[in-house]
């Protein structure tokens, strides 16, 4: 089951604090847990349609719990192969893939993906597991 992001339809400026870890805590559950942990890294803008998108965003609160990504209002299940496919109608989504050993708890597991924020901002995300 996929939940829509809480900010659906709001301006990107109003929700940017969630991207940088300012206390947004979404919830979700799913069986499994091989990619569970806390991830940190950054998002780099790749499309800045309205020239108002921050060029880079630090990410320190990208969490996976029970194989569900909980980040910036998203609650998206991780597929068995490590893929994350959030393809809702509208302009905001989070897609990508986990790499590295999923079940060992080692810090070399990472996630590379794309975050589309509204209709104007597209980011490339690269985060690494910092705590299992």
Report the 3 state secondary structure along 22-87.
Answer: CCCCCCCCCCCCCCCEEEEEEEEEEEECCCCCCCEEEEEEEEEECCEEEECCEEEEECCCCEEECC
pLDDT at 22: 41
| Below-50 pLDDT ranges, the chain | 1-32, 104-105
Tell me if 64 is assigned to some domain. yes
pLDDT at 8: 35
Tell me if 3 is assigned to some domain. no
pLDDT at 101: 56
Domain that holds residue 26: 12-131
Tell me if 94 is assigned to some domain. yes
Tell me if 30 is assigned to some domain. yes
pLDDT at 119: 78
pLDDT at 51: 85
Domain count, the chain: 1
């Amino acid at each position: 089951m996929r939940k829509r992001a809480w900010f659906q339809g709001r301006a990107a400026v109003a929700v940017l604090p969630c991207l940088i870890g300012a206390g947004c805590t979404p919830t979700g559950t799913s069986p499994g847990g091989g990619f569970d942990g806390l991830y940190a890294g950054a998002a780099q803008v790749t499309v800045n349609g309205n020239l108002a998108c921050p060029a880079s965003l630090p990410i320190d609160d990208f969490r996976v719990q029970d194989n569900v990504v909980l980040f910036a209002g998203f609650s998206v299940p991780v597929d068995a192969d490590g893929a994350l496919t959030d393809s809702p109608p509208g302009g905001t989504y989070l897609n990508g893939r986990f790499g590295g050993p999923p079940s060992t708890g080692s810090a070399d597991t990472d996630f590379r993906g794309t975050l589309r924020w509204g209709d104007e901002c597209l980011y490339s995300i690269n985060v690494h597991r910092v705590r299992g």
